[in-house]
Amino acid sequence: MRTDLVPAAEALSIILQGAAPAGEETVAIGEAAGRILSRDLTALRTQPPFPSSAMDGYAVRGADIASVPVKLVLIGESAAGSAFPGSVASGQAVRIFTGAPVPKGADTVVMQENTRAEPGSVTILVTAATGKSVRKAGLDFQRGDTLLSAGFVLDPQRLSLAASMNHASVPVWRKPFVAIASTGSELRLPGAEPGPDQIIASNGFGLAAIVRRSGGEVLDLGIVRDDRSALTAAFTRALERGADLLLTLGGASVGDHDLVLPVLRDLGATFHFSKIALRPGKPLLAGEIVHGGRTVRILGLAGNPVSSLVAGNVFVAPLVAAMAGRNSGRSHPVPAVLGCDLPANDERQDYLRASASRNREGQLEVTPFGVQDSSMLAALVRADVLLVRPAGAGPARAGDPCSVILLREI
Ligand code: AMP
Ligand code: MG
């Protein structure tokens, strides 16, 4: 295990090494929202399967309506789901509705508003170019077209397209199963009456939300005391339940009660590193443990709420997204300008909680809060962005370019 402060970018690439989904499964189209396609999907049919009307109106031959007004004999009706069986000859028209098959012989639909209906006939009042308001067969897609690619999230649009392609079920990646343990003898669940030396466990809820948003499923190990046997029992449960990733909160530092690393080592885990050059959140354990022939990843986050949520965004979200099979998932920093001067930074990459607004030039102007304590959740919620200050950055002036991670739309 490395003992230096690992630079943030290097830590992320070590964490992401070999991260991939554990397998595929098939789910019903009605259950597939938000899942990630594991294979490209090909259309099983052509849409529309026949030339169809884009309007309520009359199906005619374009040549018949070159000069208007012109009276045509009405020979029948074509509605969605019940086509006109015959064909349209010169001088004839068929009443037609949106989505209905355009009858043989007809090549044009005149919208209802441009006609006058009479018993047994219709007078076309406004001409229409041949082909107008007719959707050609295959306008949307052809049978055999590959329209959806592996790695994409089935969002509402893609889900609807998969259904239209006639897939009753779809192949998706298995969701990574992520066990989350909130470690600390001082912790109580929200709603409890904490004792004088206790606090409420908070960040496990935020981390579970990050895991789910990134495509993972959560196994909640709850609160675990800073006690070797309690930790051993909780971690063993995660392994036996088949977790793909064990995420621990708290107890990752070097204090006497920080037992996550030694307990996991006793269970056979190996670690890549335990500290990163990042603020907030210097302690970060990255490792793995083999259980029943399967490699289970381990990420141990600092317990301070802001530290763990920053690590959640910077490390957990991309790792879970990669394990979920998403071809995207990193929150890439976006360019901004500083709203104030900043002193030089030390050797740790800093994620400063900051307010942001658009200046007159439309740039995102960001100003970090004066107090940056890693325990302050209320301040994190007030922040619009995390201002990324690279390790070793020199002093900066108001107006200088910088980069930020957006915490909300601005
Ligand atoms: P640790 O990383 O265990 O040294 O914890 C650092 C600080 O974060 C301590 O003040 C803990 O009480 C606090 N803390 C640890 N875990 C949590 C949690 N799940 N929710 C809120 N605070 C926590
Ligand atoms: Mg602790």
On whether the CB atoms of residues 63 and 183 are closer than 8 A, the answer is no
1 has pLDDT over 90: yes
In this structure, which residue's CA is closest to atom 17 in ligand 1? 303
Which tens digit of pLDDT belongs to each residue from 63-91? Answer: 999 999 999 999 999 999 999 999 999 99
Q: What is the predicted pLDDT for the residue at 295?
A: 97
Of 306, 324, 342, the position where a domain reaches its end is 324
- pLDDT grade, residue 203 (50/70/90)? very high
The reply to whether 193 and 285 lie within a common domain is yes
Q: What is the predicted pLDDT for the residue at 332?
A: 82
Which ligand sits closest to the CA of 203?
1
Domain contains 142: no
- pLDDT grade, residue 329 (50/70/90)? low
Establish whether the linkage from the previous residue to 390 is cis, with ω within 30° of 0. Answer: no
Give distance in angstroms: CA of 207 to centre of ligand 1.
Answer: 13
CATH number at residue 166: 3.90.105.10
The reply to whether 202 and 247 lie within a common domain is yes
Of 183, 249, 275, the one to substitute when testing ligand 1's pocket (max ligand atoms within 8 A of C-beta) is 249
Angstrom CA distances, 317 to 93, 216, 248, stand at 60, 9, 14
The reply to whether 159 and 208 lie within a common domain is no
Domain membership of residue 43 as a residue range:
24-47+149-173
Nearest atom (ligand 1) to Cα of 182: 19
- pLDDT grade, residue 211 (50/70/90)? very high
Give distance in angstroms: CA of 207 to centre of ligand 2.
Answer: 16
The reply to whether 36 and 159 lie within a common domain is yes
Neighbours of ion ligand 2 (CB under 5 A): 184, 250-251, 303
The reply to whether 179 and 319 lie within a common domain is yes
Give distance in angstroms: CA of 335 to centre of ligand 2.
Answer: 36
Give distance in angstroms: CA of 377 to centre of ligand 1.
Answer: 12
CATH number at residue 260: 3.40.980.10
The reply to whether 316 and 338 lie within a common domain is no
Q: Residues with beta carbon inside 6 Å of ligand 1?
A: 182, 184, 186-187, 199, 201-204, 249-253, 302-305
Domain contains 144: no
Give distance in angstroms: CA of 75 to centre of ligand 2.
Answer: 83
Burial of 103 (0-12, 13-18, 19+ CB in 10 A): buried
- pLDDT grade, residue 105 (50/70/90)? very high
Q: What is the mean pLDDT of the chain?
A: 97
308 has pLDDT over 80: yes
In this structure, which residue's CA is closest to atom 20 in ligand 1? 201
Q: Domain count of the chain?
A: 4
CATH number at residue 340: 2.40.340.10
The reply to whether 205 and 260 lie within a common domain is yes
Nearest atom (ligand 1) to Cα of 223: 19
- pLDDT grade, residue 327 (50/70/90)? confident
Domain contains 339: yes
- pLDDT grade, residue 361 (50/70/90)? very high
Of the candidates 351, 355, 390, 356, the residue with the CA atom closest to the CA atom of residue 374: 351
The reply to whether 273 and 196 lie within a common domain is yes
On whether the CB atoms of residues 302 and 282 are closer than 8 A, the answer is yes
Which tens digit of pLDDT belongs to each residue from 157-182? Answer: 999 999 999 999 999 999 999 999 99
Of 266, 297, 324, the position where a domain reaches its end is 324
- pLDDT grade, residue 409 (50/70/90)? confident
Give distance in angstroms: CA of 184 to centre of ligand 1.
Answer: 7
The reply to whether 220 and 116 lie within a common domain is no
The reply to whether 125 and 260 lie within a common domain is no
Of 257, 289, 324, the position where a domain reaches its end is 324
The reply to whether 292 and 192 lie within a common domain is yes
In this structure, which residue's CA is closest to atom 16 in ligand 1? 303
Q: What is the predicted pLDDT for the residue at 330?
A: 66
Domain contains 74: yes
Domain contains 319: yes
Domain contains 240: yes
Nearest atom (ligand 1) to Cα of 186: 12
216 has pLDDT over 80: yes
